[in-house]
């Protein structure tokens, strides 16, 4: 029996198949997005949870104290080894240790184990033996209560106390209280106390500056620099992109030259971002910035003022990078407006300028904001051009402060994307940096999402206002 498919039957099958394929693509995309956010949230936010500390006694009699991180099969054997974060870099020379499970005799979780974050040696994991201050000595619960109470005070009001600490190998050290930034006894905490500490550590991550070569502390300067740079970039690129789109679609003659310009604009959107960084370095930093220094800041030379990377040049570079996106989105919005709207406005006596400003541009506002949304999403995640025109590993001064002129466009700034790159690849302790990489990545995604949602809400509000006027 021979089967034959008629065109009508094929068309009917296609009409049933394509909706299912589109729905499956949308579901797969949402699943991938949810998986990414879940991974970032689990690995990033889990870093701030006060994890339990284990005391493992080996068959050899040695004691290992630390936080268990993960387990990995041993190569070419059936055994498994466990990675412990042991801290105590000043005592053991390393903060991590692999221990084979077959070598472990017993594992205990005693309540008296503590974890300190201190400067400059990083974390200490062990026991608090005593606190000495002005000839007085506190031990056991009194020592714990003294340290917990002292760490709630400002740095200038903390007492000059010395902590007597004992590591897993029995080594005893003296730690000044002034160098301690965090004191935890996670095994003795209740679930509610852990939630409170977890919330406090997340707030510290969002509100403090980085320390310990970006493997500790917070990312507030990077958050501020990223948001400020994106806002400045949007303020610069929006008028230029809109005006260019208006000229190409409403004013310029539609001839071969105009078509070539459109092709050039669309091709610029595909140029690698590092090329824009090189252009910004040569034209903005060395060219314009160097000329400004020679004209107005000659007394400060050879130390450059504007002739080096800074917030202004980074914003201009990213504005140039995202300019084609705004032009294309705005021009497509202008092209969708029916000519009858223009002709009706002119027929009612409006001038060409009035027709553009009162009829065409309000109707094209959603398309303009779409271009800004795409520009923000791209600019917030760019790293390569910023490395050449102003971003810094650690900026000692914020671009905004209380000194005139308050906004210092010549200063270097921190950026979440570069902070993420630097923490992941240039840190001294890669293992310790991994959770912070996930937390910073989650924060960057959330900031881009908030900026985009703000623009989307504004677009929806303007569209609704326009509908009410009509």
List of domains in the chain? 220-469 (1.10.3720.10)
**80 close to 415: Cβ distance less than 8 angstroms:** no
User: Residue 470's pLDDT is what?
Assistant: 54
> What percent of the chain clears pLDDT 90, i.e. is strictly above it?
24
- Three-class HEC string of 69-118: EEEEECCCCCCEEEEEECCCHHHHCCCEEEEEHHHEEEEECCCCEEEEEE
Q: Mean pLDDT of all residues in the chain?
A: 85
Inform me whether the pLDDT recorded for 10 exceeds 60.
no
Residues 172-208 have pLDDT tens digits of 989 888 888 888 899 999 999 999 999 988 998 888 8
Inform me whether the pLDDT recorded for 404 exceeds 60.
yes
Instruction: Identify which has the larger pLDDT, 212 or 103.
Output: 103
Residues 266-310 have pLDDT tens digits of 888 888 889 999 999 999 999 998 888 888 887 777 778 788 888
Burial of residue 314 (number of CB atoms within 10 Å: 0-12, 13-18, 19+): buried
Mean pLDDT of 335-339: 87
DSSP string, 125-165: EEEEEEEEETTEEEEHHHHHHHHHHHTTS-GGG----EEEE
Residues 381-394 have pLDDT tens digits of 888 898 889 888 87
User: Residue 14's pLDDT is what?
Assistant: 58
Residues 213-233 have pLDDT tens digits of 666 778 898 889 988 998 999
Indicate the pTM of the whole model: 0.83
User: Residue 324's pLDDT is what?
Assistant: 92
């Amino acid at each position: 029996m021979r089967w034959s498919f008629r065109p009508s039957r094929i068309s009917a099958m296609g009409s049933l198949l394509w909706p299912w394929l589109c729905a499956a693509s949308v579901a797969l995309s949402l699943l991938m997005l949810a998986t990414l956010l879940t991974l970032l949230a689990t690995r990033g936010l889990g870093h701030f949870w006060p994890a339990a500390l284990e005391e493992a006694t080996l068959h050899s009699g040695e004691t290992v104290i630390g936080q268990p991180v993960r387990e990995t099969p041993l190569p070419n054997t059936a055994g498994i080894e466990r990675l412990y974060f042991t801290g105590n870099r000043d005592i053991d020379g390393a903060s991590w240790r692999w221990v084979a499970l077959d070598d472990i005799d017993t594992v205990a979780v005693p309540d008296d184990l503590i974890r300190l974050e201190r400067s400059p040696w990083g974390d200490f994991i062990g026991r608090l033996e005593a606190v000495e201050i002005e000839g007085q000595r506190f031990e056991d619960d009194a020592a714990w209560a003294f340290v917990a109470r002292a760490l709630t005070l400002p740095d200038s009001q903390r007492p000059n106390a010395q902590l007597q600490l004992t590591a897993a190998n029995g080594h005893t050290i003296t730690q000044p209280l002034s160098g301690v930034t965090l004191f935890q006894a996670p095994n003795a905490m209740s679930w509610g106390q852990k939630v409170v500490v977890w919330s406090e550590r997340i707030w510290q991550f969002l509100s403090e500056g980085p320390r310990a070569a970006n493997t500790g502390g917070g990312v507030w300067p990077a958050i501020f620099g990223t948001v400020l740079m994106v806002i400045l970039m949007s303020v610069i690129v929006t008028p230029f992109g809109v005006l260019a789109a208006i000229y190409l679609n409403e004013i310029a003659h539609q001839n071969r030259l105009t078509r070539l310009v459109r092709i050039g604009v669309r091709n610029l959107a595909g140029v690698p971002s590092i090329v824009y960084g090189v252009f910004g370095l040569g034209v903005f930093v060395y060219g314009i910035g160097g000329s400004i220094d020679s004209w107005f800041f000659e007394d400060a030379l050879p130390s450059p003022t504007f002739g080096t990377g800074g917030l202004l040049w980074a914003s201009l570079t990213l504005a140039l990078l995202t300019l084609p996106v705004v032009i294309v989105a705005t021009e497509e919005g202008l092209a969708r407006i029916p000519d009858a709207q223009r002709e009706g406005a002119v027929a009612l006596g409006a001038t060409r300028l009035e027709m553009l400003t009162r009829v065409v541009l309000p109707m094209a506002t959603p398309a303009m904001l779409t271009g800004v949304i795409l520009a923000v999403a791209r600019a917030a995640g760019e790293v390569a051009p910023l490395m050449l025109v102003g971003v810094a590993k650690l900026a000692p001064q914020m671009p905004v402060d209380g000194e005139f002129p308050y906004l210092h466009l010549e200063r270097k700034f921190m950026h979440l994307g570069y902070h993420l790159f630097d923490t992941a690849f240039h840190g001294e302790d890669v293992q310790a940096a991994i959770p912070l990489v996930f937390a910073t990545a989650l924060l960057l995604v959330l900031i881009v999402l908030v900026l985009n949602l703000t623009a989307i809400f504004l677009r929806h509000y303007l569209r609704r206002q326009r509908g009410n006027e009509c």
